[in-house]
Chains A and B, each alone.
Chain A
Amino acid sequence: MSLLQLPAFGKERPWVRTAVLRPELGSLVAAALLFIFFSIASSGAMVEIPTIARVLDTAWPYGIIAVAVGLLMISGEFDLSAGVMVGTAGALLGIMATEWGMNLWLALVLSLGICLALGLWNGVLVVWTGLPSFVVTLGTFFGLRGANVALSKYFTGDALIENIDEAAGFDSLHAIVATVFGTAPSDFRISLLWWGGFTLIATWILWRTKIGNWIFATGGDREAARAVGVPVNGTKIGLFMLTAGAAWFVGVSNAVRYTSVQAGQGVGAEFFYIIAAVVGGCRMAGGYGSAVGPAIGALIWGIAFVGIPHAGWNSDWRWAFLGVLLLVSTLINHVVGERVRTVRSG
């Protein structure tokens, strides 16, 4: 009996059945093992509050976007422009606030509108052309990568936009997206609450709303979903916009937190989101996954990112770790996927 027959035959062992049905379980176990490993390797430094604060602070920007990218992946699509969109959101907010003297709240709304429009562009292009989202969003990635730096140089004369804290509305916006609890180095940002809240809402949408059913159906079998009346195109476009919205949130949060924006930021991060989603148990081909999984995937990255130097290793090993992590979890997903495809006649 193979592993994936258990959902159907595991009645006598309900916990096995539940465990196999939960896509994020593997990543949860991996996160726990990794944390224990680095706690030992760092002689206990890993379990100190300041270290945990660093882990969480590293993880949240990836976590928020990875949750959206995870839902998008369940619907069967990728978004390679999500990382650079963080830079776009920050640069837009910065230019509007510092160069055009706009109130930050207005700049916030306008930058959201533009980011959602870019997400709409991604989604509509994928749906209309039928091209792989990999290609479409790679195009958007390069477009934005150029535009971010070119536009901020054009408007501010520099790729670094500073003094956002001088704009009107800064204090109130700062309170909402960048408040600090505790004192450094044991400081925790309000961003963690946003991350947790977003993950919970995404989980709710995925498991307990009809839109969630549409997301699973769209990625599971697009033609089947379309035939029974699931709005597959609308679902995909909506998720591209959600991903752009998540990137926008991280971009403006960082802009307000650091009071400055590096227009080139976010390049390269797009892969972290995808890795976090895959590590979190989302199926690359779509149709299976969770919202909690990608959040845990981002947490794993945070643990490794902070844990490797604490263990006294050269921090360059972070990248090697990421490579191994991706390969191992994709392999696990692939094996699971194969089993799902071969076990048909229960």
Chain B
Amino acid sequence: MTTEQMTGQDESAAPPSDRQDVPVMEVRGLGRQFGAVTALQDVNVALRAGEVTCVVGDNGAGKSVFIKMLCGLIRPSEGEILLDGTPTEFGSPRQARSQGIVAVYQDLAISPLMSLWRNFFMGAEPVKGWGIFQRFDVAYAKEAMQSELEKLGVDLGDPDRAAHTLSGGERQGLAIARALYYGARVLILDEPTSALGVRQSGAVLRLIRRAAQRGTAVVLVTPKPQHAFWVGDRFLVFQRGRLIEDRRSETLTLESLSYLMAGGGEVDELETAIATA
């Protein structure tokens, strides 16, 4: 939960051979029904430290249900989630976060009228003092936030400024830095570059790479093949509630990835349908 466990690992994360062996997080036979509707079924995936795993697929393919189950926002109806090989259940995002599973959503969970440091520690406020004199350690909060941002090379300026004054990329930076500060071992990012221009997207993708180099298992949901290909080590393709492909980046080209992301076999079906109509 603290910075200590990360400072040592900075740019020199564990060597590739080691980190292949122990999945940080693993799901087996994971599925979820909403009433009679099956949103996701029989998903088996192992997430490894230092890897960026891209989750791709069409709308309604089950991507968002998948990541929401990883971070404790939705409970699975079947299957199990293993953390370091031990079966685990998350009752809430708070519980998942306490175990190092942190999700950063499209809306970034940033409260616009609150200052940067209040946002940075929202839901995990550092305290000092005891009993009824326990208080929010404001000086520490500002300092800790600044040093974490510096380590990641993110400059947001005055910590007292309200979060609504940040640009889209800066917000992503704040949200990702916050997740890493909490000792995220699994960092789940939901379309972090969807609202950003080229420059800002590049900065955010570099930040994602840096997070992986520090030994975090990153799960990235993105609809943009270029972004996924540049940053991803591995690609999970979902279709109609199933995981249909699990490929490493070495086995793919940008073209084949784009084809998979556009729906793979569905594209052929679509072309046939258009041709025969």
Contacts and interface: CB of A to CB of B under 8 A. Distances in A.
B161 A217 contact: no
Nearest to A204: B135
B109 A228 contact: yes
Interface residues of B, number: 36
A226 B72 CA distance: 12
B123 A220 contact: no
A15 B60 CA distance: 51
A8 B107 contact: no
A245 interface: no
Interface string A214-245: 10110011011111111100000000000000
A340 B113 contact: yes
B123 A209 contact: no
B29 interface: no
B121 interface: yes
A217 B73 CA distance: 18
B93 A228 contact: yes
Interface string B234-248: 000000000000000
Nearest to B178: A228
B1 to A, nearest CB: 12
Nearest to B161: A8
A213 B136 CA distance: 9
Nearest to A288: B113
B124 A228 contact: yes
Q: Number of contact residues on A: which range applies?
A: 35 or more
A22 interface: no
A36 to B, nearest CB: 32
A5 interface: yes
Interface in B15-34: none
A183 interface: no
Residue among A223, A224, A287, A346 facing the most chain B CB atoms (10 A cut-off): A224
A209 B93 contact: no
A8 B162 contact: yes
A334 interface: no
Nearest to B141: A213
Given A216-B113, A223-B107, A340-B113, A229 B97 contact: yes
Contacts of A288: 113
Contacts of A213: 114, 118, 121-122, 125, 136
Interface of A: 4-5, 7-8, 11, 21, 204, 208-210, 212-214, 216-217, 220-221, 223-231, 283, 287-288, 340-341, 343-346
Given A213-B136, A217-B114, A346-B166, 4 more contacts: A210-B125, A213-B114, A213-B122, A225-B122
26 contacts: A8-B158, A208-B135, A209-B127, A209-B134, A213-B121, A214-B123, A216-B111, A216-B113, A217-B118, A217-B123, A220-B113, A220-B114, A221-B109, A223-B107, A223-B109, A224-B110, A224-B111, A226-B93, A227-B103, A229-B123, A230-B123, A287-B113, A288-B113, A340-B113, A345-B167, A346-B167
Interface of B: 73, 92-94, 97, 103, 105, 107-114, 118, 121-125, 127, 134-136, 138, 157-158, 160-162, 164-168
